[in-house]
Homo-oligomer: A and B are copies of this chain.
């Protein structure tokens, strides 16, 4: 596999015990992950290569690869090189889902740039998402046991997206359904990199499970904050078409008062109602609480710069404005 060869060719991205070394290793590894993703989507079919690169160039927060790298280090891993193709696969899976989301939601802006859908149209956006997903499959094929972790996350991701579309369509978003949706569509793809990083480090069962649960909880918090930003932000500040997930606003409204969300009100009405009410503030409280409980999971791990960096990453999830 080209990408694994690329990873093998890298100078070891090793960390030592100090913070500066960790920061530098993560930065180097993130660059290697970006390079690996670019290399793996280098299709002979021009439109697949161009559309894939377009969305990958835009960057995004790369929070899932960071989570894989830091979990690896926190579980005792030293040379981050083997995490690179796996983290690339995770980020490609997220990217595939984003490209397909923008078809279903008619999103025209993504990561501050025109969406694949907006530039290449629906057919090529659909195929680009399929292609990125096929590349995940190809990247992960050699991993066997680890493969199953990501395969399960991919099933959860699609189930969560479908549950959301079905619940919105059938007007049956409740607090419970909202959490079921975000658990599958987002938290599962935060749990996977944390678990994969820890497994690649050869971490103990207790450490692997704690990191997986940490990832899961900050994934839930991340999505809640995402939905808040979607309601309160603009396309400019959040870098993607704002208000498209507005139906999610029903989720917040439901957190406060399930009875209020069964109407056929147009989205703007829902938005106003949600913003006037206490739903957004309650959602923020919930996100903070999830992050606190995520951090508490890390108690079983020995102190390390990587553990500190995970705590910082968890706090960034709730403090971010985009």
Contacts and interface: CB of A to CB of B under 8 A. Distances in A.
Given A104-B126, A133-B133, A165-B123, A138 B159 contact: no
Q: How large is the interface on A (under 10, 10 to 19, 20 to 34, 35 or more residues)?
A: 35 or more
A135 interface: yes
Contacts of A158: 48, 127, 130-131, 134
Interface stretch (A6-14, A147-155, A196-204, A242-250): A147-155
B130 A141 contact: no
Contact of A165 (B104, B124, B151): B124
A161 B103 contact: no
A58 interface: no
A227 to B, nearest CB: 19
Contacts of A136: 137
Nearest to A1: B148
B134 A157 contact: yes
B47 A124 contact: no
Contacts of A48: 158-159, 162
A285 interface: no
B131 A103 contact: no
A163 interface: yes
A45 B162 contact: yes
A320 interface: no
A151 B141 contact: yes
- How many copies of the polypeptide does the oligomer hold? 2
Contact of A162 (B127, B151, B161): B127
A18 interface: no
Nearest to A148: B141
A48 B157 CA distance: 13
Interface string A42-66: 0111111000000000000000000
Given A45-B159, A148-B141, A159-B45, A165 B133 contact: no
Contact of A126 (B103, B134, B140): B103
Nearest to A127: B162
A131 B148 contact: no
Given A48-B159, A159-B43, A142 B144 contact: yes
A19 interface: no
A124 B131 CA distance: 19
Contacts of A46: 166
Contacts of A44: 159
A105 to B, nearest CB: 9
Contact of A123 (B104, B142, B151): B104
5 contacts: A48-B158, A104-B126, A124-B166, A126-B126, A141-B147
Given A123-B165, A124-B162, A137-B154, 9 more contacts: A46-B166, A47-B166, A130-B133, A131-B159, A133-B134, A137-B151, A138-B155, A142-B148, A147-B147
Interface of A: 43-48, 100, 103-104, 122-124, 126-131, 133-138, 140-144, 147-148, 150-152, 154-155, 157-159, 161-163, 165-166
Among all A-B residue pairs, the 3 with the closest Cβ atoms:
A138-B151, A141-B147, A134-B154
